[in-house]
Structure 1
Amino acid sequence: MTIEADIGSREEIERIRRVSDQLCTAHAALSDRFSRRALLLDIVVLVLSALVTALAFVDPKVLHHVMPATVDPAIVVGVFGLVVFCLTLVQSKTDWRGRGEAHKRSFTMYAEVKREAGYLLASSSDIPSREFQRLAARYDMASDVGSGVPESEFLRLKQKHLTKVEISKLLDKKPGASIWLTKLKLLIRDNWPWSS
């Protein structure tokens, strides 16, 4: 005999799906942000390193023709080298690449939970208790193992998710609508003094 999940379990699965969807948006945004920062910092460090290397091989007499007479080329090379060193320290201390990858893994875990919850909710039959328990365990594991969303950013990321959902609904009705204008319309609708 199979034990079926009660109505409360279906409501809990809907909550898990909704929260997992929201956390997917949050972790995707954080992953993108940290990955962009890491890429930008990598590019700056590489370009400045190449510049320092190139300047080290240039004859100081040639550099005097390119730079003002009052500037010592050795000092310029030294300053660029110091900047590269400082940026490398920032790179190692912030670990933006690692943080981006951690949020990407969290996104993947929550996306799997969201997809599985959607499958369970789509079934017209009662949800077996073991399936509910398995989903709840995967959700708990994603919460325990995955990266956390910083408390200071939670509300902004929740707003981003809810805005995304609202824009998606509006685009379903009007697929040719400008996303930028749709965001502006939502901003006005939700912040105007006489809006309810």
Structure 2
Amino acid sequence: MLYLTIDQDVARLILGVSSIAVFIVSFISLRVDWKRKAEQYGQAAAVLSEMKLDYKILRGIKDEKVIIEKMQSVSKSLNNLPVKIPETHFLKLKALHKRKVALSKMVTKHPGASIFLLRIIVWLKSNYNLLKNLKD
């Protein structure tokens, strides 16, 4: 039978390093407060989905006064969102969203196609159109 023998100094070193690692992880977890952030993101998602529904309803309304009142309410709601998108991340997130929408349309047209190939096609089309428009 094989017995693992660990030197007492090595065991102390392992315990010391692991206790420091646990302390660092717990400190980071305490500082970040994942639960509160998740709740804030949930609240923001609920508010934004409600706004999207209101927008769909407003598209059918012709009364400008009602539309203006609702837009002011929407503006106030947007300013009170618990989570803000930093300006530095906005363009990257917008591009990601647009790619997802384009990929979703491709999947709808070609449901049996490989997602990997569809992503490549979306990328090629976008870059081709960009280069074509730069010439003009």
How many aligned positions are there?
130
Correspondent of 1:100 among 13, 33, 38? 38
Alpha carbons 1:117, 1:135 under 8 Å: kept: no
Counterpart in 2 of 1:86? 24
1 or 2 for the larger relative contact order (CA 8 Å, sep ≥6)? Answer: 1
Q: What amino acid sits opposite 2:54 in the alignment? A: E
Show the counterpart of 1:169.
105
Distance in 1, Cα, partners of 2:75 & 2:113? 36
Q: Distance in 1 between matches of 2:115 and 2:77?
A: 35
Return the match for 2:4 from 32, 53, 66.
66
d(CA) in 2 for partners of 1:77, 1:67: 15
One-letter amino acid of the counterpart of residue 174, structure 1: H
Q: Residue 186 in 1 paired to residue 122 in 2?
A: yes
Alignment of 1:22-171 (within 5 A): 65-66=3-4, 68-69=6-7, 71-121=9-59, 123=60, 126-127=62-63, 129-171=65-107
Q: Structure 2 length as normaliser, TM-score?
A: 0.76
**CA RMSD across the alignment:** 2.5
Residues 71 and 180 (structure 1), Cα distance of their counterparts in 2 relative to 1, 3 Å cut: farther
Partner amino acid, structure 1, of 2:124? I
5+ unaligned residues in a row in structure 2: which ranges?
A: none
Distance verdict in 2 for CA 1:82–1:169, change over 3 Å? same
Q: Which amino acid aligns with 2:105?
A: K
Structure 1's 172 and 101: CA in aligned 2 closer, same or farther, altered over 3 A? Answer: same
SS in 1 for 2:111: coil
Q: 1:88 to 1:183 in 2, by over 3 A?
A: same
Offset at 1:155?
Answer: 1.1
Separation in 2 of the partners of 1:139 and 1:172? 34
How much does 1:85 deviate? 0.6
Scaled by the length of structure 1, the TM-score of the pair is: 0.56
Decide whether aligned partners of structure 1 residues 168 and 127 sit closer, same or farther in structure 2, where only a CA change above 3 A counts: farther
Which structure 1 residue ranges, 5 or more long, are not aligned? 1-64
Moved more, 108-117 or 178-187: 178-187
